[in-house]
Amino acid sequence: MDNNYNNDNNQQNMSTDPYAQGGGYVQDPYNNMNGAPKPNGMAIASLVLGILSLVLCCFSLIAIILGVIGLVLGLKAKKDNPSGLATAGVVLSIIGVALAAGLWIFSVVAGESLKDWAESLQDGALFIK
């Protein structure tokens, strides 16, 4: 094929093509997020770790570790770029750590009380010696 014919044909089609872009700036029709904030990875990680610390609160040590990491990430994300995700991550992490610590303290106190109660029953007349 002749290159001159192709060049002439392309120029002719460009001028009559209704979808052809002009010489000026044309906004991308699919880019609707001009003013929307970009997702913050630390805030998302904080939210996920906060949810995991709530779900795993009966496994105290794991939940406390995940909650503390989520809390640190959430506070850093909130300082860098405040968002609702960072706030939710901080709140869920605090609740997860508090629940895990509370359940751990409750289990230690209840365990000691049950141990004392079992020893008192054993010393009493309920058991045959």
Instruction: Estimate to the nearest angstrom the gap between the alpha carbon of 87 and the chain centroid.
Output: 10
- Would you call 34 helix, strand, or coil by DSSP? coil
Confidence of residue 60 (pLDDT cuts 50, 70, 90): confident
Domain boundaries, the chain: 44-121
pLDDT, tens digit, 9 for 90 and up, residues 68-103: 999 999 999 988 888 888 899 999 999 999 999 999
pTM value is: 0.61
